[in-house]
């Protein structure tokens, strides 16, 4: 029994050290978009999976006290507003390439907002809720994708427009 306690204490110590390392990084560089290289480096250093490092970041993010979240929220809101205003300006262009850049910027801004809400526990992560029972759902998705490849380009474009919400389905 003493061995288990010793191992547990070592694991807790390593967990504490790993999270302290992450916390120092996050305090210095911010909580948004931690580079994959940092994730890999910490995973290797502490002999854990990258997924575990992401879970640690999620845990640490949720531990931030409310005033800190409010400050970050205000900073993020300014950035979000700026991104949306710029994207709308680009979308109004007559040039299709500029419009495409506007749409990409709008998507990027929206994804950033969603990530912010997920990171601070204000929105559930859809991916965490998805369940693929014994791979059957994934096989069905792959089969559907293969069937789409067989369609002519006009049919593919119609499906893309439906998926984008530009063509109502009902």
Question: Whats the size of the chain, residue-wise?
Answer: 170
CA distances from 130 to 9, 38, 52, 84, 164 (A): 34, 27, 19, 29, 21
Global model pTM greater than 0.85: no
Mean pLDDT (whole number) for 95-113? 87
User: What would the two tokens of residue 132 be?
Assistant: 């693929």
Query: With contact defined as beta carbons under 8 Å apart, do 53 and 43 qualify?
Result: yes
Give the model's pLDDT for residue 45: 92
Q: Mind listing the pLDDT tens digit for each residue in 55-100? A: 998 888 777 665 666 677 777 777 788 888 888 899 898 998 998 8
**Helices 36-46 & 50-62 angle (0-180, nearest 10):** 110
Residue 132 banded pLDDT, cuts 50, 70, 90: low
Cα distance between residue 45 and residue 28, in whole Å: 19
What would the DSSP string read from start to end of 56-123? HHHHHHHTS-HHHHHHHHHHHHHHHHHHHHHHHHHHT-SSHHHHHHHHHHHHHHHHHHHHHHHHTTSS
- What single-letter DSSP state applies at residue 35? -
Confidence of residue 2 (pLDDT cuts 50, 70, 90): very low
CA angle 97–103–105, rounded 5-degree value = 105
């Amino acid at each position: 029994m003493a061995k288990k306690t010793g191992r547990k204490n070592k694991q807790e110590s390593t967990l504490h050290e790993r999270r302290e390392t992450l916390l120092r990084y996050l305090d210095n560089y911010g909580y948004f978009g931690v580079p994959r290289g940092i994730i890999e480096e910490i995973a290797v250093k502490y002999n854990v999976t990258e997924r575990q490092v992401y879970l640690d970041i999620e845990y640490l993010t949720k531990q931030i006290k409310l005033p800190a979240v409010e400050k970050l929220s205000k900073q993020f809101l300014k950035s979000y507003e700026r991104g949306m205003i710029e994207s709308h300006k680009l979308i109004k262009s007559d040039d299709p390439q500029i419009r495409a850049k506007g749409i990409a910027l709008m998507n990027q801004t929206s994804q950033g907002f969603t990530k912010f809400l997920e990171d601070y526990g204000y929105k559930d992560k859809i991916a965490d809720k998805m369940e693929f029972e014994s791979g059957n759902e994934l096989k069905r998705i792959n089969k559907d994708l293969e069937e789409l490849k067989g369609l002519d380009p006009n049919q593919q474009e119609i499906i893309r427009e439906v998926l984008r919400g530009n063509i109502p389905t009902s």
